[in-house]
Amino acid sequence: MTESELAAALAPMVAIVGKPMTQEQIKAWHLMLDDLDVDTVRRGVVATMRDYQYAGFPPVGVVRKNCGSMTGNITATDRVTIAWAAVKTAVPTQGGYATVTFDDPITNATIRALGGWVRICDTESGEQFDAWLRKEFERTYTAFMAAGVQQDQAAPLAGLCDIANGATGHDERQTPRARAAVKRNGCRFSLVMLCGRLTCRMRTSGQHH
């Protein structure tokens, strides 16, 4: 989780307190929370501010504690909002070439029902993405929360590389989690010749696929 991602996760808290955090405060909070992923911190902030009792910013230790204990308190609306934020963060970071899977199986099922990961990534930014697609995502996600998700619906979401490899009969699927890509931002893509076929591969920091 980068400092800019942390700042975005803390934005609701900043809005409620009514004053900005200094760069030094953000750096200090980042030092205390950088082992957590941004979605977990965002949920912890929501849980903390629901019972806001502070004149200023709550202690970072309180937010950290709530990062591990907010599951039973989070509302359905919060879940949808958090899921959409995770998708919106992953789209520009992971991109449509990568095969991804989210920690929340309902997110995978929702994206699959909306046409798949590539279609999500290909949606035009602006109103199409932030208004129309978000509305469809929230409606579909809410329906899955009520109906439940089957194992095949929660399966990893194929990116262009795996789709292309599957079409040529060559399958070397690796499925990095979207949160890992967001946290490390170390994905690179390359075209390699393998057994006479031009194949799209993804390489992450310290790994070769």
Question: For residues 209 and 201, is the Cβ–Cβ distance under 8 A?
Answer: yes
More confident residue, 165 or 139: 139
Question: For residues 122 and 95, is the Cβ–Cβ distance under 8 A?
Answer: no
Residue 201 three-state SS = strand
CA 178 – CA 58 distance, rounded (Å):
29
pTM over 0.75: no
Summarised one tens digit per residue, pLDDT across range 91-100 is 998 899 999 9
Question: Which of the four pLDDT bands, split at 50, 70 and 90, describes residue 187?
Answer: very low
Mean pLDDT is highest, among 34-43, 159-168, 182-191, for: 34-43
CB atoms within 10 A of CB 172: 13
| 205 pLDDT more than 70 | no
Summarised one tens digit per residue, pLDDT across range 46-91 is 888 887 776 788 888 888 888 875 444 566 777 888 889 889 888 9
pLDDT of residue 154: 92
More confident residue, 42 or 208: 42
CA 9 – CA 3 distance, rounded (Å):
10
